[in-house]
Amino acid sequence: MNQRYLYIFLMLILLTGCEETIQLDLDQVEPKIVVEGLLTNRLGDQYVKITKTVDFYASGGAEKITNANIKLIDDLGEEYSFNQTSPGYYLPVVDFAGVVGRSYSLSVEVDGVFYQSEDQLLRVPEIDSLGYSLNDDPDQDRIDSGHLYDLLLYMKEPKETTDYYLFKFYRNDSLTFTNSNDIYLLTDEALSESISGFPGPVYYAEKDTARMDMFSVTRNGYVYFSDLTNLLFNDGGLFGPVPANPRSNMSNGALGFFQVSAVTTTQVILKKKN
């Protein structure tokens, strides 16, 4: 028998040979605390969001944690207080900006249980400029939308260390993605020291204001966002990897991530080129 048809035949036996209904025990996993935090060297970025996972059959979204106590302290001993501004969402009592080179420790207490994390605020190189060019071979979606321009990055990237970066792109002040689940992550191992016209993944139209935010992330951050990307793009197929939670930098079994980043931003208004 042809091996291809033998394989199909065996698969059909496996898929049809058992008629017993199996009930999956989907509500046995203990709910977990999820901590999402951001600290940068830019005023207005800092926040901590705390939720709790719910079982498979629960209606509504994640439970918002409203009774958390949050403490943030840097490696020089300076403390920063947070207050809840909406259910599960906490902002600094006094706005502040992180300092490049310092380490920051986050402690979250929920019902007497502590969840902790520490990360360092690494420097990010300055962006020299953003350019743009008309794409030579746009696909039909880009033609239909009028987004015919590629965004181009110009900068110097120091090579004495291994660095990791997270990017966010805005079109006319709106956070924009090529695909809704995209996370734009890069290690400088893929970059040369002089970056001249490196194309971005988001496309623009004439007269758009294109803005790019570039965040430094630690190795832990790179691992977390890489895991998250793999999870978001897992198709759940028979031969795909088993979905797993992204590796968190929070202690005590909490999910989520405390991101500590330097950020640089620049923008350009696209004008028609002759």
Q: Supply the pLDDT for residue 236.
A: 54
In angstroms, the CA 241 to CA 222 distance is 20
pLDDT 10s digits, 95-135: 999 999 999 999 999 999 999 999 999 999 999 999 999 98
Q: Supply the pLDDT for residue 30.
A: 81
- pLDDT mean over 75-86: 97
Taking 60 as the threshold, does the pLDDT of residue 67 lie above it?
yes
Q: Supply the pLDDT for residue 142.
A: 86
Q: Supply the pLDDT for residue 14.
A: 36
Q: Supply the pLDDT for residue 3.
A: 40
Q: How confident is the model at residue 274 (pLDDT cuts 50, 70, 90)?
A: low
Chain-wide mean pLDDT for the chain?
A: 85
Taking 60 as the threshold, does the pLDDT of residue 265 lie above it?
yes
Taking 90 as the threshold, does the pLDDT of residue 160 lie above it?
no
% the chain with pLDDT above 70: 83
Q: Supply the pLDDT for residue 7.
A: 35
- pLDDT mean over 149-164: 90
Taking 50 as the threshold, does the pLDDT of residue 11 lie above it?
no
Q: How confident is the model at residue 273 (pLDDT cuts 50, 70, 90)?
A: low
- pLDDT mean over 170-191: 88
pLDDT 10s digits, 13-29: 333 444 444 444 444 56
Q: Supply the pLDDT for residue 243.
A: 63
In angstroms, the CA 152 to CA 122 distance is 24
Q: Supply the pLDDT for residue 24.
A: 41
Residue 160, phi-psi category: left (phi > 0), alpha (psi -120 to 50), beta (remainder): alpha
- Tell me which residue has tokens 């920063």: 80
- Which run of H or of E encompasses 143? helix 140-145
In angstroms, the CA 8 to CA 6 distance is 5
| Between residues 66 and 179, the one the model is more confident about | 66
In angstroms, the CA 58 to CA 52 distance is 12
